[in-house]
Structure 1
Amino acid sequence: NITVYMCQEHRWHAQLPQILKKMGYNLAILRTHWRFCGWCPELTESIVEWEGPDGTRLAAIPQYVGGNKRFQTTPIGQLHRIIKNQGIKAAVRWWLGTIEEDYKRYNWTKLPAFLWSVTPETGIGHFLPETLMEIKEKGLRGEGEGKYPFRFTFLLAEEIPEVFGKPTSIFRPDPNEFLYLIGWGAWGNDPWSLPREAEISVLTAERVAALNSLLGGDTFEEKLDTAWKALLASQHHDYVTCGRRELAEILSGYSLEVSKNVTKNSLSNLFSRVDARNGDKSVLIFNPLAMERREIVWVDLNFMKGEAYYFSLFDGDVEIPYQVIREERYGDNSIKTSKIVFYCDLPSLGYKVITIKYTEPTIKPVGMDVNVASKKISTKYYDIIFSDDGGILRIFDKILRLDLVRRNGLNGKFRAKVDGEEKISSGEVNFEVVGPLVTIVKEQGSIGSIPYQNRIIIYNDLRRIDFETTFTFNGQRIGEVDVREGATWLDDHKLGVIFQLNTDNVTVYSDRPFLIHKAARYEGIFPWAQTPLEQVAFYGLTWADVSSPQCGLALFNTGTMGYRAHNGSLFMVLAQSGPVPYWGDIRLKGNYTYRYALYPHPGDWMEGDVPKEADRYNFKVLTYVGDPHPGDYPRQLSLLKLIADNILVSAVYTRNGSLFVRMYEYQGRNSSIILTSPDFQFDLERVNLMHEEAKPLTLPIPIEKHEIITLKVSAKFKAKNSSVINRE
């Protein structure tokens, strides 16, 4: 029954009022108690109503103006020295003396009452009660009772509303007022990239398992719960940055392994229940997104000796053209392994079964033209030319009739300060795979003394361009670490990739938790080490975008969330290396691989529908290959389809056997939602984030701007030749 939210590390964001309220909280202590990695907005009021972007209000005790600076103007090291040399009580007295100074300096005197709190990491938190009671009796320095300027008492968090009363003002902080000082790129960015991989895997596994359970299979709830717990623990601050990196990696890896096994078992069970007759092999393709999509599908096929010398693909009676990426044959020329790609129209949050027949293909794939000599690729959307020294020379949009990036710019180039010198990458471009549907370009080069390999995947029918870059580090100092304190937050000189839109007149947006907002450069100075905040990266949870009214560039990430934008250029931080205060000497050695994607698009982020395209990049389609067999369920099935152009589904999962769907509005406008399915009938209830307070719903479902909603779905399969399955 905890109703007051407090936290030590900086994990605040603008959408928390509605999240906390929907979890049963009625008050937040809107403060970051360990401000090494950022802080909350400041306001000198006793108690306020904190209003989120959707209009939800939550009572909050704010961080008073000047309080954030205290973290570094009263350094932890000084407290520790006093504790060591003079004892705990002397340290507490010194600390209370600085509060007295701030009380006068920042005009806290206008507050009828103010709340103060301290993190146990200062070394004094556990000793405050005894020492404070002594000070209450004898004064701060033994001068006698009443010499300390405050009358104070200890409160339980639940007692705060009674003491401070009702809020008298509304606090509407801009999302950019939540400052994030993250050491992007530290440890090769593994603290963020590894959990992101596991997170996407768990979210995907939940969706496959949910459909599996509706068709009579297991929910795998216990295993998924274990995966979530391991993932959350792997991101704990003390695991990530305080000498426990190996444990964090073990936990992330365990979460990933558990969720992959759930996905594998769910797909196997689904395949065993569907109608996969006809042909010589069948492939079940699962789409984890609640939207129909035409997607590139990659499949690895394995054959016995003499089993197949050629094969064709069919969607029902329609043959599908495919491209062979890689193939291995036996001595009798029969196929041993074949990696193929093809495009397929997939149902929303569901599956489709395609057939493999051991017959010669009658349709050849057609698509892009590739001129290896001139390093030019022409797709459905673009003419792309690669530079002789690495990177992309030109991207010309055939539909918009525009050059999207600056010619002879730094597009797809890497930039960094390596061992104290500013460097730009240089590489040699070769064509690894040339084909009509997919072409893979391989670039090898170096940035300073750091060699790299960059695989660039161009699709004929997709606007997106995928990158997979591997650097081989050998202890180089990357960025300004070891040059000045606070350099771990100075992102311009770290190793990163850059792209440059062909205009300076741009707006910059990024996605935050359940919110898309205009990005802004931080301003001011972080007192510790006098760090200039304007050199600190803003963050995009899965993407950042620079765009003009005509066109834009979005850069999708898989954990490399630190971005810098300047005059149409978009720079994404990948790595830093060297000595860092508190964290030690974290030089990189060995191979580190980064995956990201460039998405050129028409218009701004909204016209280009960047959020949904980012989801398509992160939530890949899944495949399962097996032998043909009869089954009770159809060859194509969709659990649900969302009819709304401004809504994203963020989670589909089961809890105690019941199905839940969570979604949010991302364009900042009121609208309505229709959930439909060709294969299931629904009864819907709206619940809070704790799955409580159920209220029946009818379609269409109203949704406010920036609102997050959770639905409990009772789904009945529209049985055709099978028995009716009715599951909540």
Structure 2
Amino acid sequence: MPYNKKQMYVYIQNVIKKINEVMYIKVAELNAVAWVTREPVPFEERCTGEKKQINMGETWGQLWDCGWFHFTGKVPKSQAGKKVVLLIDVNGEGCVFDRKGCPIRGLTNISSYFDYTLGKPGKQVVQFLEHAEGEEKIDIWVETGCNDLFGRYSKKGTLEEACIAVCNKQMRALYYDFEVLYNLMLQLPDSESRHMSILYKLDEAAKIMKNYTEEEAAIARKILMSELNKKGGDPSLTISAIGHAHMDLAWQWPIRETIRKGARTFSTVLEMMERYPDYIFGASQPQLYIWMKEHYPSLYRKIKEKIKEGRWEVQGAMWVEPDTNISGGEALVRQVLYGKRFFREEFNKDMKSLWLPDVFGYTASLPQILKKSGVDYFMTIKLSWSEINQFPHHTFNWQGIDGTKILCHMPPEGTYNSSASPQAIKKTESQFLDKGVSDRCLMLFGIGDGGGGPGAEHLERLKRVKNLNGLSPVVQESSLDFFKKIDNDSNKYKTWNGELYLEKHQGTFTTQAKNKKYNRKMEIMLRELEFSSMLAQLNADKIYPQEDIEEIWKEVLLYQFHDILPGSSIKRVYDESLDRYKILMDKTEELLKQSFAAIVDKINITGMNNPYVVFNSLSWERKEWVKVNDDWQYLSVPSMGYLVTDEKKVEIPNENLVIKEDHLENEMIKLRFNADGTIKSIYDKEYKREVIQEEMVANKLAIYDDQGDAWDFDINYDERLCDSFLLVSKENYVDGPQAVMKQVYKYGESELIQKVILTKDSRRIDFSTEVMWEERNKMLRTSFPVDIYATEAICDIQFGTIKRPLYRNTSWELAKFEICAHKWVDISQRDYGVALINDCKYGYKVLENTIDLNLLRSTEYPGIDADRGRHEFTYSLYPHNGDHVVGEVAKKAYELNIPMNYIKGNINEALLPKAKSFIEVLSDNVIIESVKKAEVDNDLIIRLYENNNSSVDTQIIFNFDVKSVKMVDMMEENSREISIEKGVINLRFQPFEIHTLKVSI
């Protein structure tokens, strides 16, 4: 007679379901009273909201409402001697507090939106009494949010459950015995003896369960022990598992809710650690720890104790887990600088790994930044999300644009929410692309975003699978221990060169344009503030505002979080961050004025009627037209210095500025316009060549249907017909040294006003643009089909450049249909090229000979009305001789982005001369990115980099008294003396190398 295996499977599943139902037996209801508010209130003010008596099944709030629930009751006398728990589900998130106001346990509604292939997300069990005596009073407070894990309004915010229950301990243990073995069995072919052995033991144990008593459960467990006690042999792969709770600092919820999510999660972790001695948990992001320290000091003290014990691993080296595509180079350095300093000062931990599981691609500048900050390892998950090509490794060496390598690992399961089940382990085994080369990989288990991290289910599974026959062994350990072990074989691993491009989420280069603009402007303003503050300290003895600058920087770094800066959060996040950006910008502007004023007071300004001081923070002399107090002047301002000029009317010879109905012209460039406002010709008079490809038009303001969300849009969007803005009026005029064509466009309810500007003696064509954008599900782009033949575009990234393909010969090239670049993209032949520069945009398409810039995207999810409203931005076309190096494209882009500052001077006879360069760099290839005060003393920090992929010897000249110069790392440590003679040092740069100097003054 054949075995009826199919029926056995069904029978076992039904038994498992029944065991789950009787693990907890409800014995009484809790009384629930809630005080509801729109925004969170602290424990001490928990009774200040609207008071409501809430019965089960009743709604207690609307989306984002906050509540303090007071649950009371009494353990029935009949339950004496039993383990008693509380079952609470408010259809939102919650956190149990002790009587002193310390979070002790997070709760999550069972109905939370989640990927159920990873398990159920809910946490509703509150441990109460291990051995009840009966009639104990229950009196607990739970802070709640009327939102599920991902900001959804679940089941109308009803009180789903508030009960006293008895935990049947043997039944609970039996459930996990069954679950682990059944899940393991399903991962094995039924032709294997191990599969059949488990099946028959499960069937035998299931037949014991008739009345589902604790006695039956104990007998069934003994039957299953014969399978659970079967150990694995000598492993070919060992899996290192660490508890994880991926925490988005904002996403489908506002930042304020993340603070409470942190408390819910971290209190749950601490409670689980008391029950599971093998449990090792890790968490990143100093910003999150700071919030715990400020809002929940007693909880924070408990966290510090677990870190000291080695049970809790602090992870990552950055202030937050930031976007690395759009964040500027100096911002990425500050992420590490402030992040590592925090962990060192708070916990005495020197962070050696970067922890970025969920970021949308990784700049090729990152390996050098990490290595020069003392970071040796990098962990991510996200490349497993690529949609066209599979990334070929999980353990590999990543080489950046300068040749620096860093050891990387991606957990093969492809998730940071692993269930830690046999299925998860088998998936890890099968998907690990470097097995055989490496005998270890990483698993991150738990539930994130306020889900409390690992639950009892994860830890119960790990107790059973750590050395179970049929599976690779699993050891709970820190990620740093894991990296140290695989580092021993780092020479065996393959090397990936260049950026880690995510073949998904390309829409994040553009979505929420205002936020991206503020980020660019704040990075630049902080650069200017630090430079001016150092000059003020150096020349005017003004105290450097270090605390203010650090405070501003840290908030800017917060908004670079990988679901804020990329544009993938809800509308409220951007409403709040834009308000804060305005405040930060005003504060920075005021500090900047104070620094400039202090310097100006020390400048000898005599013999002038109405003097102004013009400042140049860039590391080369700038010769350009500047509008000083509404009057144009052509000025030559020294590098990293200033020039005093008198306010005066300047006669501008403009015989070479030509304006006609359909064209503009200066000494170098002639523009001809079509009737619809597009450009049909850009003629380079100096080099006698047409810039625009024949029979093509430039600067077509194209509008595409965009049914995507904040993250993504259709790869084939440009294969469909597009609309465009309609030109409704135009005028041209001369403004000092500028020939201007002003054009007004309409589309639907939107209006666009653009000034196309040619400036005297300049090759740069500026498109100064104002848009009142009222579209939904549309994308606005401009494009320039240039008469250049090349196979690659050169793209500006942090601390250097990277090449991107212009053709789609392979699937890897096809995947890069939209790319991220910073201030410019250039297409060049050896003899001639064209760059497209911008002041706040990041999304480009480069295809064949066309540079296409993504200007606005009006998506509706998760943030409604994205990009609707008023925008101002400038992009510039820059034709030039030679390639991007000969054409000095990088300098022109810096100059567009960093206009010179000026301030009214005071007529005096102070010491400083009327023109001065404080620092000179005698190489066009080397750029000073930042000048700031050192973190721990009053020395000067200067960060420079080679920008043109060349080996360079150069001199740096300091035109002020210098005691010594040292080369340091990006943590401003590990110094090496540099010889200085008469204020001059010699420096050697390798291609794209970054140097950090510490100058004693």
Q: 1:504 offset after TM fit, Å?
A: 4.4
**Partner residue, 1:573:** 854
What are the superposed Cα offsets for residues 21-46 of structure 1, whole Å, 9 maximum, x if unpaired? Answer: 221223222x2359779999945465
Q: 2:780 aligns with which of 495, 512, 525?
A: 495
Please say if residues 43 and 63 of structure 1, whose CA atoms lie closer than 8 Å, have aligned partners that are also in contact. no
What are the superposed Cα offsets for residues 489-515 of structure 1, whole Å, 9 maximum, x if unpaired? Answer: xxxxx3111112123445311012212
Mapping of 1:163-174 within 5 angstroms? 163-164=485-486, 165-174=488-497
What are the superposed Cα offsets for residues 123-179 of structure 1, whole Å, 9 maximum, x if unpaired? Answer: 777116x43442245459xxxx72551210111133124433341335432324432
Relative distance call for 1:516 and 1:461 in structure 2 (3 A) is same
Structure 1 Cα separation of the partners of residues 449 and 807 of structure 2? 27
**Partner residue, 1:114:** 441
Relative distance call for 1:369 and 1:53 in structure 2 (3 A) is closer
Structure 1 Cα separation of the partners of residues 509 and 376 of structure 2? 37
Q: 1:534 offset after TM fit, Å?
A: 3.3
**Partner residue, 2:799:** 514
Relative distance call for 1:422 and 1:377 in structure 2 (3 A) is closer
Structure 2 letter corresponding to 1:496: R
**Partner residue, 1:713:** 999
Relative distance call for 1:261 and 1:584 in structure 2 (3 A) is closer
Structure 1 Cα separation of the partners of residues 581 and 738 of structure 2? 32
Q: 1:63 offset after TM fit, Å?
A: 5.5
Q: 1:353 offset after TM fit, Å?
A: 0.4
**Partner residue, 2:401:** 53
Structure 1 letter corresponding to 2:381: T
**Partner residue, 1:155:** 477
Structure 1 Cα separation of the partners of residues 762 and 424 of structure 2? 59
What are the superposed Cα offsets for residues 41-62 of structure 1, whole Å, 9 maximum, x if unpaired? Answer: 945465x444333333333335
Q: 1:196 aligns with which of 520, 524, 527?
A: 520
Relative distance call for 1:209 and 1:368 in structure 2 (3 A) is farther
Structure 2 Cα separation of the partners of residues 147 and 56 of structure 1? 42
**Partner residue, 1:4:** 353
Structure 1 Cα separation of the partners of residues 399 and 665 of structure 2? 49
SS of alignment partner, residue 246 of structure 1: helix
Structure 1 Cα separation of the partners of residues 389 and 623 of structure 2? 42
**Partner residue, 1:385:** 672
**Partner residue, 2:61:** none
**Partner residue, 2:832:** 551
Residue-pair matches, total = 623
Structure 2 Cα separation of the partners of residues 40 and 647 of structure 1? 36
Higher relative contact order (CA 8 A, sep 6+): 1
Please say if residues 968 and 998 of structure 2, whose CA atoms lie closer than 8 Å, have aligned partners that are also in contact. yes
CA RMSD of superposed structures (Å): 3.2
TM-score (norm 2): 0.58
**Partner residue, 2:538:** 214
Structure 2 Cα separation of the partners of residues 122 and 34 of structure 1? 20
**Partner residue, 2:642:** 351
State yes or no: 1:92 paired with 2:379.
no
Please say if residues 656 and 667 of structure 2, whose CA atoms lie closer than 8 Å, have aligned partners that are also in contact. no
Mapping of 1:80-479 within 5 angstroms? 92=419, 97-101=423-427, 103-104=429-430, 109-110=435-436, 111-117=438-444, 120-121=447-448, 126-127=453-454, 130-138=456-464, 146-147=468-469, 149-164=471-486, 165-179=488-502, 181-184=505-508, 188-216=512-540, 217-240=542-565, 241-243=568-570, 244-300=573-629, 339-356=630-647, 364-367=651-654, 369-406=656-693, 409-418=696-705, 422-427=722-727, 430-431=730-731, 433-435=733-735, 437-447=737-747, 450-478=750-778
Structure 1 Cα separation of the partners of residues 508 and 809 of structure 2? 20
Please say if residues 925 and 946 of structure 2, whose CA atoms lie closer than 8 Å, have aligned partners that are also in contact. yes
Structure 2 Cα separation of the partners of residues 430 and 372 of structure 1? 12
Please say if residues 418 and 476 of structure 1, whose CA atoms lie closer than 8 Å, have aligned partners that are also in contact. no
Mapping of 1:536-547 within 5 angstroms? 536-547=817-828
Structure 2 letter corresponding to 1:265: Q
Q: 1:435 offset after TM fit, Å?
A: 4.5
State yes or no: 1:649 paired with 2:928.
yes
Q: 2:940 aligns with which of 659, 673, 676?
A: 659
Relative distance call for 1:210 and 1:382 in structure 2 (3 A) is same
SS of alignment partner, residue 475 of structure 2: coil
Relative distance call for 1:711 and 1:224 in structure 2 (3 A) is same
SS of alignment partner, residue 578 of structure 1: coil
| Structure holding more strand per residue | 1
Q: 1:99 offset after TM fit, Å?
A: 4.7
Please say if residues 415 and 447 of structure 1, whose CA atoms lie closer than 8 Å, have aligned partners that are also in contact. no
Q: 2:882 aligns with which of 599, 603, 612?
A: 603
Q: Which deviates the most, 650-659 or 515-524? A: 515-524
Structure 1 Cα separation of the partners of residues 749 and 520 of structure 2? 29
Structure 2 Cα separation of the partners of residues 278 and 432 of structure 1? 39
Structure 2 Cα separation of the partners of residues 39 and 275 of structure 1? 63
SS of alignment partner, residue 585 of structure 1: coil
State yes or no: 1:564 paired with 2:890.
no
Please say if residues 184 and 573 of structure 1, whose CA atoms lie closer than 8 Å, have aligned partners that are also in contact. no
SS of alignment partner, residue 237 of structure 1: coil
Q: 1:408 offset after TM fit, Å?
A: 5.3
Please say if residues 370 and 376 of structure 1, whose CA atoms lie closer than 8 Å, have aligned partners that are also in contact. no
Q: 1:663 offset after TM fit, Å?
A: 0.8
Relative distance call for 1:684 and 1:588 in structure 2 (3 A) is closer
Structure 2 letter corresponding to 1:704: Q
Structure 2 Cα separation of the partners of residues 597 and 19 of structure 1? 30
Q: 1:472 offset after TM fit, Å?
A: 2.0
| Structure holding more helix per residue | 2
Structure 2 Cα separation of the partners of residues 647 and 41 of structure 1? 37
Structure 2 Cα separation of the partners of residues 277 and 146 of structure 1? 86
TM-score (norm 1): 0.78
Q: Which deviates the most, 276-285 or 219-228? A: 219-228
Structure 2 Cα separation of the partners of residues 617 and 119 of structure 1? 47
Relative distance call for 1:557 and 1:119 in structure 2 (3 A) is farther
SS of alignment partner, residue 654 of structure 2: coil
SS of alignment partner, residue 100 of structure 1: helix
Structure 2 Cα separation of the partners of residues 650 and 178 of structure 1? 25
Structure 2 Cα separation of the partners of residues 62 and 473 of structure 1? 41
SS of alignment partner, residue 676 of structure 2: coil
Structure 2 Cα separation of the partners of residues 365 and 433 of structure 1? 15
Q: 1:287 offset after TM fit, Å?
A: 0.5
Structure 2 Cα separation of the partners of residues 37 and 282 of structure 1? 58
**Partner residue, 1:313:** none
Structure 1 Cα separation of the partners of residues 636 and 831 of structure 2? 29
Please say if residues 376 and 406 of structure 2, whose CA atoms lie closer than 8 Å, have aligned partners that are also in contact. yes
**Partner residue, 1:330:** none
Structure 1 letter corresponding to 2:666: T
Q: 1:184 offset after TM fit, Å?
A: 4.0
**Partner residue, 2:44:** none
Structure 2 Cα separation of the partners of residues 619 and 434 of structure 1? 24
Unaligned 5+ runs, structure 1: 80-90, 301-338, 479-493, 715-727
Q: 1:390 offset after TM fit, Å?
A: 0.6
